[in-house]
Amino acid sequence: MFRSLRLVFGKIQQNTTKPFHLCGQRYLQSLREPSQPLKRCPKWVCVEDAVKIINSEHLVFIQGGAATPTELVRAMTEHGVCNNLRGVRLLHMSLEGDTPFANPEFEKHFRSISLYVGTNLREAVNEGRADCIPVFLHEVPRLFYEKRIVPDIALIHVSMPDARGFCSLGVSADCTRAAICTAKVLIAQVNEHMPRSFGDTVIHSSHFDWAVRYDCPLACVVCPPPNDLEVEIGKIIAQRLIEDGATLQLGIGNIPDAVLCALVNHKDLGIHSEILCDAMVDLVEHGNITNKCKIKHRGRMVGSFGIGSKRLYDFLHNNPFIEMLALNYVNDPRVISMQPKMTAINSCIEMDLTGQVCSDSLGCKMYSGFGGQLDFLRGAAISQDGRGKAIIAFPSVTSTGESKIQPVLKLGAGVLFTRAHTLYIVTEHGVADLFGKTLRQRANALIQIAHPDHRECLEKAAFDRLKSNPTKYL
């Protein structure tokens, strides 16, 4: 109960000139009386002064996504290098913008630990200069609440305080609430461009140990228009698998955008998704997304972080139609399963003929992470109304013409979805429903939606692997 109360009022007062263990004592005291903002103002300082508290061996949490506090990251890197700090660990979700601490020459100063590997840290992880934690997104807040991870310092990015002194975490609730509830020191980058969102994002400015004013536009991630194959996949999913009144989860990328673009004739759709993106705004304005059929959060979109263009961020600002909630709620398969006609749409890197799916690595090289794909696919699969759909969609071939449906996964590839998890598979050639099918039936169904140029090779591989023609026992 005390932790849930603190979700509203954020972090405790700390005198950061005293040892960290005393700060922890004040934290415990604050859990007993969390009902009021602290009777003090944050210390407003320049960014260089704010990061001076970071020392060698500290564990620093950095808010991620479009809310990455880029100015604090820049100053922290310069501080660490100039003062020859050693072994500063940086824990974060996927970060946007520059990550100078990951440069090879700074390896002795910083070590990044990703909860989800972004493009800007992929090389560092695969070269051994950074690390990552394989974890379901809905379990990330547990790492903080169970004190398996206790940050010494949290760097966050918030909106301007309102008339009562309350700020917002804006576009990124995810695991940030859990991190600031357990971090010993809190440093905030305050930005007038950060939207004010509703949900698990409210924090009073008096809980900041240091605050830095730095106004800058948020990082924008805009995908190119879907190509013809992706448009066809979007149409197949929209026409054959998504019903009116369905609750949707989609990732970010061309295929999710193609699906959303194909839903202009659907009615009363709902959104319960870790990511909110630009294409959803179009469907809201067109009247396709109403959320009126949802059992929980009826009439409101639910997300955990938003990333896209300024149009999306403007849409999120002061919009009571949207709730930004923490990952341990949004991505909980039990919560997901309660949504009507829950339809989860995700992609992958490759899959084999029996239905094993790799989404987080290219062979042995890490590409991303577990993310929330399995959270949502499992939640949709166990939908309480029995009408959920767990969908994995991808073009049948890569950009180099290689089949994405392979006889076996590449050596070292991580299995994110087991054979039992994979249900609906979609390419531009159709839909394969794998639920309840034997290995031979699965192989045949997947070959039928593979690219025609690769089907003969896949049939031979299926015969070698299964010791029988995959069509024999249909």
Give yes or no for residue 33 having a pLDDT over 50. no
Q: What is the mean pLDDT of residues 341-350?
A: 96
Residue 237 in contact with residue 262, Cβ under 8 Å?
yes
Active-site residue among 71, 230, 274, 323?
A: 274
- pLDDT grade for 40, boundaries at 50, 70 and 90: confident
Residue with tokens 């800058």: 216
Asked if 274 is an active-site residue, the reply is yes
pLDDT digits over 370-412, tens only?
A: 899 999 999 999 999 999 999 999 999 999 999 999 999 999 9
Task: Please state whether beta strands 43-44 and 210-213 pair in parallel, antiparallel, or not at all (unpaired).
Answer: parallel
Rounded Cα distance between 141 and 273, Å, is: 17
Give yes or no for residue 472 having a pLDDT over 90. no
List of domains in the chain: 2-213 (3.40.1080.10), 228-466 (3.40.1080.20)
| Residue 364 amino acid letter | C
Taking the complete model, does pTM exceed 0.85, yes or no?
A: yes
Q: Is 469 helix (H, G, I), strand (E, B) or coil?
A: coil
Residue 15 pLDDT:
36
DSSP 132-180: E----GGGHHHHHHTTSS--SEEEEEEPPP-TTSEEE-TTB-TTHHHHH
Which of 470, 403, 404, 462 is closest to 437 using CA atoms? Answer: 470
Strands (E), 301-388: 301-303, 305-306, 322-324, 342-346, 350-352, 357-358, 361-362, 365-366
Q: What is the mean pLDDT of residues 252-275?
A: 95
Q: What is the mean pLDDT of residues 103-121?
A: 96
Q: For the range 464-467, what are the long-range contacts, defined as Cβ-Cβ under 8 Å and sequence gap of 24 or more?
A: 464/407, 465/353, 465/407, 465/408, 466/439, 466/440
- pLDDT grade for 332, boundaries at 50, 70 and 90: very high
Give yes or no for residue 20 having a pLDDT over 70. no
Which of 410, 407, 454, 406 is closest to 429 using CA atoms? Answer: 454
Give yes or no for residue 27 having a pLDDT over 80. no
Residue 473 pLDDT:
54
